[in-house]
Chains A and B, each alone.
Chain A
Amino acid sequence: MTLAVGCRARPGKSRDNKTGSWRVFKPSFDHEKCSKCGMCQTLCPEGCVHEDAEGFFDPDFTYCKGCGICATECPKEAIAMNQEEK
């Protein structure tokens, strides 16, 4: 993409801003410990946690900001936050 003069934007332009770039800590989901309760999906403020065909959950790292709410709320402590190397 090229820059628009004056940061002038038509509708839908926010799709260019991928919030995944904000992330410092990256969640990793341990499916062995997961009870498939879905709290991570319910509470994710970015709405980026998805359920797969087997009922497990994983985030979309394009948008995951690494806020860590999923890891804090997971009743099974199945989500670990690790500092991400960039």
Chain B
Amino acid sequence: MMEITEGSHAVAEAVRLCRPQVVSAYPITPQTHIVEALADFVANGKLDAEYITVENELSALSACVGASAAGSRTYSATTSQGLLLMTEVVFNAAGMRLPIVMSIANRAVGAPLSIWNDMQDSISLRDAGWLQFYAEDNQEATDLHFLAYKVAESKEIQLPVFVCFDGFILSHTYEPIDMLLQEQVDQYLPKFDPAEKLDAKDPISFGMYATPEYYLEFRYEMDQAQKRAKDVIAKAGKEFGTMFGRDYSALTVGYLLDDAETVIVAMGSVCGTVKDAIDEMRAAGKKVGLLKIRVFRPFPSEEIAKALSKVKRVAVLDKNISLGAKGGATAIEVRDAMYGSMIPVKGYVLGLGGRDIRKKDIKEIVSLCENGIGDQFYGLRKELI
């Protein structure tokens, strides 16, 4: 059913339709509207769940770990400092193989304090074992939650998922959303059937300690589950497409790639701006395309290498910076995916802390890339440095 909704409220409604049994979260800008709406749903009887209020994010995700281990479908949401405060539990949830779904309304991290958007928060936790989905618009941000539970709870995966969307740019923007109905979601997403759960009659412990004889193999098994997730996402995304008309089977999505000479690789809401810039550049005769990364973990290396095998050059946009490394995380990993191809991959770190990215910036980056200039910050105010 089409409705005009704020991104956060659309996400909250999607989560409600997933019938989580336990929600625990701590409000933080720009995630607040999501958990406010969920608290309202629970208070008004529209969602039959325990909403556990806690003193901070470390406790929020800890409550989710306990609830998930006890066999409940579990949800949280956070961003930025809140996510970083959760960090210890983020790693533990993945290690215990608990299928928690958490929305991340992406925001910059301090210091200096910034409430504005970039992707430093979730990207910084790319090694934690969670799957990471990135939405371009609010329709995707909504739908990816259904996909997230489906994939996370799959017996062959059993890993938690971040559903990431740009704070403010998406979370606070009103867009038309085709919202699924409860019976449609129930048909797509069966009740959570945990492989094992905490039960006093059949005692079990989660995440017990592993001596050096066993630890390496546990991490290997998690990595294998991440790799298997590619097929599970493809299958679950296709099923979603068959049932509701929007296919999420692809980990990466191309835009005007077929004859493209310069391709921009990007994640999240900036892809919309990139497409508009590409349309204008195409009208002026420039063969430019976009490869959107929708799933960052598992990282679609093979898919990227294949999609970009015939292009002349690649410009990767990063709204994050791995300080001290060669740019942002996406550029580093795309370059690794392209290793051996001789196609130049240039990275551009931009938009940090909410700096706007406009069509003219995309055009300027394409021009820099054509001239072999890259692996640098873009848009620095020279007068300040």
A residues near B (Cβ < 8 Å) are 3, 5-11, 13-14, 17, 21-22
Contacts and interface: CB of A to CB of B under 8 A. Distances in A.
A17 B195 contact: no
14 contacts: A3-B214, A3-B217, A6-B97, A7-B95, A7-B210, A8-B196, A8-B207, A8-B208, A10-B202, A10-B204, A10-B205, A11-B203, A13-B205, A21-B212
Contacts of B95: 6-7
Contacts of A3: 214, 217-218, 221
A17 B211 contact: yes
- Listed from nearest, the 3 A-B pairs whose CB atoms lie closest are A6-B97, A9-B208, A6-B96
Interface of B: 95-98, 158, 195-196, 202-214, 217-218, 221
A8 B205 CA distance: 5
A10 B195 CA distance: 14
A81 B217 CA distance: 32
B221 to A, nearest CB: 6
A10 B96 CA distance: 14
A46 to B, nearest CB: 15
B211 A8 contact: no
B203 A7 contact: no
B211 A5 contact: no
Contact of A5 (B202, B209, B221): B221
Given A3-B217, A21-B211, A21-B212, A9 B158 contact: no
Contacts of A6: 95-98, 158, 206-207
